[in-house]
Amino acid sequence: MTRRHLFGAAATACLAAVGIVRAVPDPPAPPAPAPPGTPGDPPFDETYRGRRIQGEPLAHQGGHGSVGWRITVDGRQLGLMRRADGSYLSMVDHYQSYATPLAAAQGAVDELGPLRALSGRVH
């Protein structure tokens, strides 16, 4: 081998040792898990801290999948929004993200406390 070949082989070995040059490509990443609060989440109806929380997914017009959630706290509509990362926030506590619609409703109840109520009635 010539000096040029030896130098090239040594440089490649050094770069490979620090991770700049890889001889074998990385294996493909495993598929990402479904985001929290996916359309398969079941409806709920529970009492949390003395408040009745109900929630049901709203179906697309074709009946497949979910387009959002209808959430009520003591019969009053709770505005719920899905964030780009798959989490949820409520209109009562829009600074905190929650993994599921139920968790967002519970967070709203926590924020409301025992005396305050949501404004507006469900029609």
Q: What is the pLDDT of residue 52?
A: 95
Q: How many whole angstroms separate alpha carbon 123 and alpha carbon 118?
A: 14
Half-sphere exposure of 26 (CA within 13 A, CB side): 6
Q: How many whole angstroms separate alpha carbon 69 and alpha carbon 44?
A: 11
Of the pLDDT bands very low, low, confident and very high (cuts 50, 70, 90), residue 6 is low
CATH for 44-112, among 3.10.580.10, 3.30.1880.10, 3.40.50.620, 3.40.640.10? 3.30.1880.10
Q: What is the pLDDT of residue 19?
A: 57
Q: Which two tokens stand for residue 10?
A: 């040594």
Task: With beta carbons less than 8 A apart as the criterion, state whether 105 and 47 touch.
Answer: no
What residues does each domain of the chain span?
A: 44-112
pLDDT tens-place string over residues 47-96: 999 999 999 998 765 555 557 899 999 999 999 999 999 999 998 887 88
pLDDT tens-place string over residues 20-52: 555 556 666 655 554 544 556 789 999 999 999
Q: How many whole angstroms separate alpha carbon 25 and alpha carbon 62?
A: 43
pTM, two decimal places: 0.61
Q: What is the pLDDT of residue 122?
A: 47
Q: Which helix (H) or strand (E) holds 48?
A: strand 44-48
